[in-house]
Amino acid sequence: MYEVRAKKHLGQHFLKDENIAAKIAGSLSSATKQVLEVGPGTGVLTKYLLKQNYEKLVAVEIDRESAAFLRIHYPELGDGLVEADILRMDITSLFNGKFSVIGNFPYNISSQILFRVLENHEQVNEVVGMFQREVAVRIAAPPGKKDYGILSVLLQAWYDIEYLFTVEPTVFVPPPKVQSAVIRLQRNQTTELGCSEKMLLQVVKTAFNQRRKTLHNALKPLGDYNGEFAGKRAEQLSVAQFVSLTNAMQEIMALSTQA
At residue 6, the pLDDT reads: 59
Cα–Cα dist 240/237, whole Å: 8
Q: Is residue 2 part of a domain?
A: no
Question: Do residues 201 and 215 touch, judged by C-beta distance below 8 A?
Answer: no
Please give the chain's pLDDT, 259 residues, in tens: 347 775 666 555 778 899 999 999 999 999 999 999 999 999 999 999 999 999 999 999 999 999 999 999 999 999 999 999 999 999 999 999 999 999 999 888 999 999 999 999 999 999 999 999 999 999 999 999 999 999 999 999 999 999 999 999 999 887 889 999 999 999 999 999 999 999 999 999 999 999 999 999 999 999 999 999 999 999 999 999 999 999 999 999 998 877 5
Looking at 187, 218, 239, which one is the last position of a domain? Answer: 187
Within 10 angstroms of residue 77's Cβ, the number of other Cβ atoms is: 22
Question: Do residues 190 and 243 touch, judged by C-beta distance below 8 A?
Answer: no
At residue 255, the pLDDT reads: 87
At residue 171, the pLDDT reads: 92
Q: Is residue 178 part of a domain?
A: yes
Residues 224 and 129 in one domain: no
The whole domain housing 230 covers 197-258
Residues 149 and 248 in one domain: no
At residue 210, the pLDDT reads: 94
CATH number at 228 reads 1.10.8.100
**Alpha-carbon Rg of the chain, whole angstroms?**
20
Within 10 angstroms of residue 34's Cβ, the number of other Cβ atoms is: 18
Residues 88 and 15 in one domain: yes
- In the chain, the number of structural domains is 2
Cα–Cα dist 83/80, whole Å: 10
At residue 257, the pLDDT reads: 79
Within 10 angstroms of residue 30's Cβ, the number of other Cβ atoms is: 6
At residue 7, the pLDDT reads: 63
Q: Is the pTM of this model over 0.75?
A: yes
Looking at 169, 187, 205, which one is the last position of a domain? Answer: 187
Residues 58 and 175 in one domain: yes
